[in-house]
Amino acid sequence: MSEHHTPLIRLAKRDAMARGQVWAIRASSFLAAILISAVIFLVMGHNPLGAFGTMITGALGKNTAIRQTVRIAIPLLGTALAIAPCFKMRFWNIGAEGQITAGAVGASYFALFWADRLPQVPLLLVMAAAGAVCGGLWALIPAFFKARWGTNETLFTLMMNYIMIGVVKWLQGGPWEGRPGSQIIPQFDSAAVLPKVLGVHCGWIIVLILMVVMFLYMKFTKQGYEIAVIGGSENTARYAGMNVGWIIMRTMFLSGAIAGLVGFIVSSGADNTLHAGVAAGVGFTAITVAWLAQLNPFAMVAISMLLAVLEKGASTLETQLYVPASISDIITGIFLFCMLGCEFFINYRLILRGGHREGAVQ
C-alpha cells in the first residue's frame, strides 16, 4: 500500500492511562516549562539557574516569604472551592470576581459602621455572614435568569463582575470615602481585622476547613449528588424528578456565598480596607486552579500553592534581578500553558506516519 499517502501526524484517543504514566506526562510537562523558561532567561541575559533560585528563595526561602506566598494562595484556594460545585454542574460561573467583591462590600459595611457597636468576635462573625449573603445574592441573579429564561450564564456572570467593581468605585469616591477627595475608603478598625495565626491572618484556617467541608458536600450529600447528575446530563436530572432550576439557583447561591466569604477574608485579613481591586483577578485565576485540580478540593491546595509560588517568585524576580514585569508574566504563562497542555497528551496520542505498528505491539 502506498504508505506515503497516510498523513504525517494523526491523532487518536487514548484508552484510560495508568496513573504512573499520567504523572510522568505531568512531570515532563513541568520540566518542559522549566526548559522553555530557561531559554527565555538566557535570551534576556540572566543565568537560568540563578533566576530559578531567586524565584524559589523569593517564594519559600524565608518565613516572611512563605507567609506572603500563603497569603496569595488563600483567596485562590477559597475561590476555587467556590466555583467547583458550579463547574461540576457545568454551570460556567466566571463571575467569582464580582462575587468576591460583593462579599467584600457586605463585610466592609459592618467593618466601617458597626465596629464601635460590637466586640471583635461577633463583629467578625457578622462581617463573614454579610459577606457570604452578599456574594450569594449577587450570584443568584444570573442563576435566576438561567433557571427561568435559559440565559447564557457565562456572559451574564462575566458582566456582573464589572458592575460590582463599578459599585465599589462609586463607594470609594462617594458615600464611603474617607478623607474627602482621597477616593479611598478608610482603614478598618482593628476589631474588624482577622487575627493572625502563625503569622498569617486566620483566613487560611477558614479555607482549609472549607476544603474538607466542600469535599464531603460534593461526595456524600444528596445535594452534591444532584449537582453531579445535572452536570452529567440535565435531561437525566429532569427525568429523575429533580427541580433543575431550583438546584441551579441553590448551587449558585452557595458558590457566590463562598466567594463572598473569600471577599470578607481578603478585605478584613489582607487589605484591612475595601477597594475596587479587592478581587485582583483571583476570580479568574481560580478557574485555572479548579480546572487543573479537576475539581478535587485536596488537589486545589497543591495547585493554588504552586500558582502562589510562581506569582511570588515572579515578583521577586522583578525586584531583585530587575526583570521586567512582562517577562515574569511570560514565565507564569509558560508554566500554565504547559500544565494545561499536558492534559491533551493524557487524552490523546499522536501517531507518526508509519509508526502505527508500534501501537500494535502493546
Partner 1 sequence: METVHAIELRHITKRFGTKVVANDNIDLTIDRGEILSLLGENGSGKTTLMNMLSGIYLPDEGEILAEGKPVSIRSPGDAYAHGIGMIHQHYKLVEVFTAAENIALGLKGKGHDRRTVAAQVQAISDKYGFGIDPNKKVYDMSVSEKQTVEIVKVLYRGAEVLILDEPTAVLTPQETERLFGILRTMKADGKAIVIITHKLHEVMAISDKVAVLRKGKYVGTVNTADTNPQKLTEMMVGHAITLNIDRPQAKYRDLRLEVKGLNCRSGEGLPVLKDVSFQAFGGEILGIAGISGSGQKELLEAVAGLQKAESGHIFYYPPHPKSDIAGRHVPVDKAGEELVGKTPGQIRKVGVSLAFVPEDRLGMGLVGSMGMVDNMMLKTYKDAPGPFVDRKPPRELAQRLVQELEIVTPGISVPVRRMSGGNVQKVLVGREIASTPTVLMTAYPVRGLDINSSYTIYRLLNEQKLKGVAVLLVGEDLDVLLELCDRILVLCGGRVSGVVDGPAATKEQLGLMMTRVGGGEEESRHE
Give the number of residues in contact with partner 1, rule: CB under 8 A. Answer: 33
Question: What H or E segment, with its residue span, contains residue 312?
Answer: helix 297-321
Q: Which one among 23, 113, 170, 225 touches partner 1, defined by CB under 8 A?
A: 225
DSSP code at position 151: -
Does residue 347 bind partner 1 (CB under 8 A)?
Answer: no
Do the bridges between strand 200-201 and strand 196-197 make them parallel or antiparallel, or are there none, so unpaired?
antiparallel
For 349, the 3-state DSSP assignment is strand
Does residue 13 bind partner 1 (CB under 8 A)?
Answer: yes
The stretch among 78-86, 167-175, 282-290, 353-361 that binds partner 1 (CB under 8 A) is 353-361
Does residue 239 bind partner 1 (CB under 8 A)?
Answer: yes
Return the residue matching grid coordinates 483567596: 75
Q: Which one among 121, 240, 325, 340 touches partner 1, defined by CB under 8 A?
A: 240
- Report the distance separating Cα 44 and Cα 47, nearest Å: 9
The stretch among 37-45, 60-68, 141-149, 228-236 that binds partner 1 (CB under 8 A) is 228-236
CB of 140 to partner 1, least distance (A): 21
CA 309, 314, 316, 319: dihedral to nearest 10 degrees?
A: -160
CB of 227 to partner 1, least distance (A): 11
Nearest CA to 82 out of 317, 330, 290, 335 is that of: 290
Nearest CA to 347 out of 13, 122, 87, 21 is that of: 13
The stretch among 166-174, 199-207, 225-233, 249-257 that binds partner 1 (CB under 8 A) is 225-233
Nearer to partner 1, 224 or 283 (CB): 224
CB of 92 to partner 1, least distance (A): 17
How far is CA 253 from its chain centroid? 17
Nearer to partner 1, 171 or 229 (CB): 229
Residues in 164-223 at the binding interface with partner 1, rule: CB under 8 A: 220-223
Give the cell for residue 250: 441553590
Per-residue binding string, partner 1, 66-85, x by CB under 8 A, is --------------------
Does residue 62 bind partner 1 (CB under 8 A)?
Answer: no
CB of 229 to partner 1, least distance (A): 5
Q: Which one among 233, 294, 319, 347 touches partner 1, defined by CB under 8 A?
A: 233
Give the cell for residue 21: 504514566
Question: What H or E segment, with its residue span, contains residue 230?
Answer: helix 222-232
Per-residue binding string, partner 1, 298-337, x by CB under 8 A, is ----------------------------------------
Nearer to partner 1, 183 or 223 (CB): 223
Does residue 64 bind partner 1 (CB under 8 A)?
Answer: no
Q: Which one among 9, 14, 122, 340 touches partner 1, defined by CB under 8 A?
A: 14
Question: What H or E segment, with its residue span, contains residue 57?
Answer: none
Residues facing 13 on adjacent strands: 348
- Report the distance separating Cα 326 and Cα 27, nearest Å: 26
Does residue 6 bind partner 1 (CB under 8 A)?
Answer: yes
Whether 310 and 332 have beta carbons less than 8 Å apart is answered as: yes
Question: What H or E segment, with its residue span, contains residue 55?
Answer: helix 48-56
- CB-based burial label for 137 (10 Å; 0-12, 13-18, 19+): middle
Does residue 238 bind partner 1 (CB under 8 A)?
Answer: yes
Give the cell for residue 231: 452536570
Query: What are the two backbone dihedrals, phi and then psi, of residue 233, each rounded to the nearest 5 degrees?
Result: -170, 115
Q: Which one among 84, 229, 266, 286 touches partner 1, defined by CB under 8 A?
A: 229
CB of 223 to partner 1, least distance (A): 7
Residues contributing to the site for partner 1 (CB under 8 A):
1-2, 5-7, 10, 12-16, 220-226, 228-229, 231-233, 235-236, 238-241, 356, 359-360, 362
